[in-house]
Amino acid sequence: MIFSQQLMFSDQQAITATAPSTNVIDLGATSAPPGDAAALTRDIGIGDTVPLLIQITEAFDNLTSLDIALQVDDNSGFASAKEVWSQTILLADLVAGARPNIQGIPPGVDERYARLNYTVAGTAPTVGKITAGVNMGVQNDY
């Protein structure tokens, strides 16, 4: 997989409690085209697929399940975060190499900042890592 460091949410991030991704992606401010007073609207999930890879890189223990959510907000503090995608993964499926079922950035990524949020259900894990980010393309070994 080919990643850009600026488009990484998590790089071998240890998940031992509910937490956001280590990195927030700043999609930049929108501006008005010449001759127009209104700024353009954005939704990077519409159109060609923007590949997003989320992969378990170290198996988890203890927890019941892990919810992974893609959130966007107009401020970097995520005071009013909007969830545009989520998936709950049971402990039995949180093994090294596993990937949540997401084909790419979904519609609804229409604000300036984006991050992943990891919500632990059950007992806090002592091990378990995730790497996630926008990449050149998701390889399938089929």
- Tell me the CATH number at 80: 2.60.120.1110
Tens digit of each residue's pLDDT (9 = 90 or more) over 95-134? 999 999 888 899 999 999 999 999 999 999 999 999 999 9
CB neighbourhood size of 100 (10 A): 19
d(CA 90, CA 92): 6
- Decide if 82 contacts 72 (C-beta within 8 A): yes
pLDDT < 70: residue spans in the chain:
1, 138-142
Query: What's the predicted TM-score (pTM) here?
Result: 0.90
**Amino acid, res. 32:** A
Looking at the domain assignment, is residue 142 inside a domain?
no
Number of domains forming the structure of the chain: 1
Q: Is residue 103 part of a domain?
A: yes
pLDDT value of position 97: 94
**Residue 139, pLDDT score:** 63
Q: What is the pLDDT of residue 119?
A: 98
Measured distance CA(9)–CA(54) in Å, rounded: 9
CA distance 51 to 100: 13
Structural contact between residues 51 and 104, judged by C-beta atoms closer than 8 angstroms: yes
pLDDT confidence of residue 103: 80
Range of the domain at 55: 3-29+39-135
pLDDT for 40 equals 82
Other beta carbons within 10 angstroms of residue 136's beta carbon come to 11
Cα–chain-centroid distance for residue 130? 10
Question: Is residue 141 a part of any domain in this protein?
Answer: no
Q: Is residue 140 part of a domain?
A: no
